[in-house]
Amino acid sequence: MIFKTIRSTLTAFNSLTIAVLCAAVLSISVFVHEDLYSEAVTNNLDGLSNNMAYDLSSILSAPEIDVASISALLLRLEEYENVKFAAVFDQDYNQLDLYAGKSLQADDKRHLNTYQEQLDKMQLGMSIKNGRLFSFKSIGEKAFLNGYLLIVNDLQKPLNRSKLSLLLKVLPLTFVIIGIGIALSLWLNRKMLLPFQKLARLAHQIKETNDYSIDINVEGKQEVVDLSDKISSMMDTIHSEEIKNKQYTDQLMQQRKDMERLANFDSLTGLPNRQFFMETLRKSLSTAEHELDDMVLMYFDLDGFKGVNDAHGHEVGDKLLIEASKRAQRFLRHGDLIARLGGDEFLILLYNDPNEFVVMDIAERIIREISKPFDINDWEILISVSIGIAKATDANYNLSDFVSNADVAMYKSKVEGKNKHTIFIPAMMEDNKRRLLLANSITPGLKNNEFQVYYQPKVNADEHIVGFEALLRWHSPELGNVSPGEFIIIAEQSGKINQITEWLLKEVMYDYASILAHFGENTVVSVNLSAHDLKNTKILELITALYDRYFINPKCIEYEVTESTYLENFDMANECFENIRSLGSSIALDDFGTGYSSLSYLTQIKLNTLKIDKQFVDNLGISQRSTLVTKTVIEMAKQLNLNICAEGVETRQQMAFLVAHGCHQLQGYLFGKPTDLATLLATPYKRENK
């Protein structure tokens, strides 16, 4: 009886031990699995939200926020079934767009407004609350904050599903092992007590070390050996799941590293990108200010890069950016940092308070090196570079002002002819403020009728008026009379030149009837087009509509484009002008000889009129070279059956020379200054008899 009692006690004890052992192993597995799963999901969402916040930065920093682009970006979350919702807010926490995920439930919808009201109290980063994983990220740099991104992910339900899957795999085998253990417990009074103690020790070791790869091999009766094998099999299953989770975690970590690289480095050139550079610059400015050191920032972009893209395609343009960045890096000192800001814009940070001689030497070397021909895809590409230079001390170590000063200096280099470097001085900020004021005043100026069309006459050899050039004037109550040479460039850079051209075309077409009634039905009115107009796909549609509305004879309208604009957009210009010529209008090449000065281009482009630039006319009879060039251009144009018009004629001697050598039309102050329509119609002019 005592033996049976002891055996029963031992059997019950060992059965309980086996059950506890299995439960402990399962608990450890579930806890480890839960921690690994939560960490993996958190890291994945963190990397995803960082990437999306970076992509949203360029959208929210645009002058006009494109909500459709935000929605398209949020649709990336479609493939993540556990995302409840995601929202994009501006810097004032106003919601710009909302994405409702597949796991969004009714209680989440009721709390959406609550989340938005608590945004200003929510800490940036990752957090877990009530079974939900929150990712709250800022969009843009701290100094250039554009908004916030909130992504809420369901954590508890998928975690429960994952734990259930693990249990469903392990529990059947666990129950089998427990059953075998109970059957074998009858023999524990003789030979199985010691092996089970060994199993208990192994279980404790596994719990302490979390090492599921430990080999369980317990000697004893066959039942004990079988139990050992079953437990070993269970451990192998757990170990296999652990390996899978570790591989998944490693994969997520690698993806995180890849996303960090994408977030910090430019994928095309391999250089640090704007985000990385700005963060480095912020830290460097703080250190330099503390140590009373100075730093120099160079801001440069490639002159004519857009023309290369248009003429040769983006593949050539990308290779050009890579080669140009490599050339610029050759002249940097150890420790200096170069980054691609975006497009064809680059930043260089020069450390250790370099003296002016070193800075000038680096800038001039970069200009000379990039000005050398590039051999790309069997094309010889020629470009130049404009550089702006600023000092940290001039910006009082303020990051935004530091970059802005370099940008202003770079713009000054472009305005003064490109292919040069300019050092920032405080006086340039006034020019920049005026440039911004002009850019922001163009659209209101058009709406308030501050712009006006002036007409300058063109005459033939007998001084009879044969046409007019429509010229734009801006009389602003706030800015006064703004020169076209000033506001046209700003309009092109700010993307508002198309508005101006459309307004000008409508005004000219409206004035058309009055001009022709006063000066004759064969009078031709010329309108200037910019490079941006050539890219405007709606320009031909607008011209056609205006012709129909105002009963325009297309042959009485001529479109002028400058030589540099034409040749920088060669194929696009030819296509645009071919469409205009098909309507019956003519094309004139303006400022000939001041851009590329390649006469061979005239054999490849389709023109009606060639305009000789004023700088050649001014030097007639003064500069032998200008006189010879003018003669050559006129003779060549005649051979190509082109109409020839000379600009800037101010003296009788200039007129006599041009007429004697076969110039068809003359334009300049000698025959009339640009005037508004009312004055034009009230002033008597010689009119050609038809």
Tens of pLDDT, residues 306-316: 878 877 888 99
CB 612 within 8 A of CB 654: no
Domain boundaries, the chain: 1-79+138-146+154-264, 274-425, 450-682
Distance from the Cα of residue 331 to its chain's centroid: 27
Question: Cα(428)–Cα(47) distance, rounded to whole angstroms?
Answer: 41
Distance, first Cα to last Cα, the chain: 141
Give the pairing type, strands 465-476 and 451-459.
antiparallel
Give the C-alpha separation, 44 to 50, whole Å: 10
Using alpha carbons, list the distances in angstroms from residue 213 to 30, 206, 216, 532: 17, 9, 9, 68
Percent of the chain with pLDDT over 90: 34
Q: Distance between CA 133 and CA 155 in Å, rounded?
A: 6
Dmax (CA) for the chain in angstroms is 143
* Across 102-116, 400-414, 455-469, 493-507, least confident range: 102-116
Average predicted confidence (pLDDT) for the chain = 83
pLDDT grade, residue 685 (50/70/90)? low
Q: 600: Cβ–Cβ under 8 A, 6 or more apart, which residues? A: none
Both tokens assigned to 580 = 């205009």
Is pLDDT at 601 greater than 80 in this prediction? no
SS3 call for 586: strand
Alpha carbon distance 38, 178 (integer Å): 31
Q: What are phi and psi of 229, to 5 degrees?
A: -65, -40
> In this predicted structure, which of 7-11, 43-47, 321-325 has the lowest mean pLDDT?
7-11
CATH number for the segment(s) 450-682: 3.20.20.450
pLDDT value of residue 346:
95
pLDDT at 258: 59
Question: Does the pLDDT at position 414 exceed 60?
Answer: yes
Q: Is the pLDDT of residue 341 over 80?
A: yes
In the structure, how many helices (H) and strands (E) does the chain have?
23, 22
* Res. 366: pLDDT tops 90: yes
Q: Give the range with max mean pLDDT: 428-432, 445-449, 627-631.
A: 445-449
Contacts 24+ apart (CB under 8 A), 55-60: 56/88, 56/139, 56/146, 56/147, 56/149, 57/139, 57/140, 57/146, 60/88, 60/90, 60/96, 60/139, 60/140, 60/146, 60/147
Cα separation, 589 vs 612, in Å, equals 9
Question: Is residue 678 classed exposed, middle or buried when 0-12, 13-18 and 19+ CB atoms within 10 A define those classes?
Answer: exposed
**CATH fold for the domain made of 274-425:** Alpha-Beta Plaits (3.30.70)
- For 293-334, give the DSSP string: ---EEEEEEEETHHHHHHHH-HHHHHHHHHHHHHHHHTTPPT
pLDDT band at 60 (very low <50, low <70, confident <90, very high): confident
According to the model, what pLDDT value does residue 504 have? 95
Residue 613 DSSP code: P
Supply 88's token pair: 């994009």
Name the amino acid, one letter, at 184.
L
Report helix, strand or coil for 100.
Answer: strand
**Three-class DSSP labels, 64-92:** CCCHHHHHHHHHHHHHCCCEEEEEEEECC
Strands 296-303, 337-342: pairing kind: unpaired
The answer to whether the CB of 573 falls within 8 A of the CB of 565 is: yes
Whether 497 contacts 491, CB under 8 Å:
yes
Residue 2: pLDDT band with limits 50, 70, 90? very low
More confident residue, 163 or 215: 163
Phi, psi of 304 (to 5 degrees): 85, 10
Q: Residue 45 — very low, low, confident or very high, per pLDDT cuts 50/70/90?
A: confident
